[in-house]
Structure 1
Amino acid sequence: MGGEHAARSLAGEVTMVRAGTPDEAPPHAEATIGISADEPVFDGHYPGFPILPGVCLIECVHRAALGAFPAFLDEKARPRLAAVESARFLDPVYPGELVAMELSWKAVRDDWQCRAVVRNPRGDSARVRLRYTVADA
């Protein structure tokens, strides 16, 4: 096959601004992530008018959700993404922008649902709803 490719994580590190606690109703957390202007995904999405693909915003929410899980759930629990229940994209994220995410959690049967509002510097960029199953470590 072609050359070797190193695995690369999208964007920078997710920074937890505030993690949720069990006594919150519903538990919620806040996180940010910087979207670097040199992300390779911008090369093809779209040439001459780069915007962050929606699937990348879902990945940012997922990473923030994984970072927030231990703050209010058993430390030994391992969350696994079971479904992207919905995603609505409202305004593009451009190269170099800081994305802020507000996540809220709700127990749904034996799973956890994470609802997120993603904001760019101009306002709401996306609303995403993810569902997680939880297994003991």
Structure 2
Amino acid sequence: MLENDSTRVDLYTLQSTDKNVDNYVCMIKLNPDHPVYQGHFPDFPVTPGVCMMQMLRECVSSVLGTPLRYQHVNTCKFLAVVNPHQESNLELSFSVTGTYNLQATLLSGGEAVLKLKATLTPEQ
């Protein structure tokens, strides 16, 4: 996930997925040794917001069994920094209504770090 070539090093691992009525919960484990953290930032690693959005999209695609992409992002709020050396376990809670209308919250240590409302569309 978040791959670049055959020397791929995963930024994260999707560990589990549960469904509760209309809501899904995914447990995600960050890889604190991923090269992205060497440059973002060397002395204080922070998970880039764009990487969190990509993780979210990939997890939703995996759970729904359909490759999806963002069509429109209504709101995206980054609420806290995610340092993979302090907390590498994330919880993604999301629901999809209608034609891929997504509402999601990403938690780190029980604290919301990202809230997103977006419309997804199948990749073509």
Q: Distance in 2 between matches of 1:17 and 1:65?
A: 10
Q: Secondary structure at the match of 1:93?
A: coil
User: Offset at 1:101?
Assistant: 0.4
Which of 68, 73, 76 is the equivalent residue of 1:80? Answer: 68
Unaligned runs of 5+ in 2: none
Q: Secondary structure at the match of 1:99?
A: strand
- Report the TM-score when normalising by structure 2: 0.79
1:117 aligns with 2:112: no
- The corresponding residue for 2:17 is 17
Instruction: Kindly tell me the number of residue pairs found equivalent between the two proteins.
Output: 117
- The corresponding residue for 2:53 is 58
Q: Secondary structure at the match of 1:66?
A: helix
1:62-116 Cα distance to aligned partner (Å, 9 max, x none) = 121012214xxxxxxx443123333211111112410110011111xxx311111
Instruction: Note closer, same or farther for the CA distance 1:51–1:120 as it changes in structure 2 (3 Å cut).
Output: same
Whether the 8 Å CA contact 2:19–2:25 is kept in 1: the answer is yes
Whether the 8 Å CA contact 2:17–2:63 is kept in 1: the answer is no
CA RMSD of aligned residues (A): 2.4
Runs of 4 or more, structure 1, over 6 Å off, are none
- The corresponding residue for 1:101 is 92
Q: Distance in 1 between matches of 2:50 and 2:115?
A: 12
Q: Distance in 2 between matches of 1:66 and 1:124?
A: 21
Letter aligned with residue 60 of structure 1? M
Larger CA Rg, structure 1 vs 2: 1
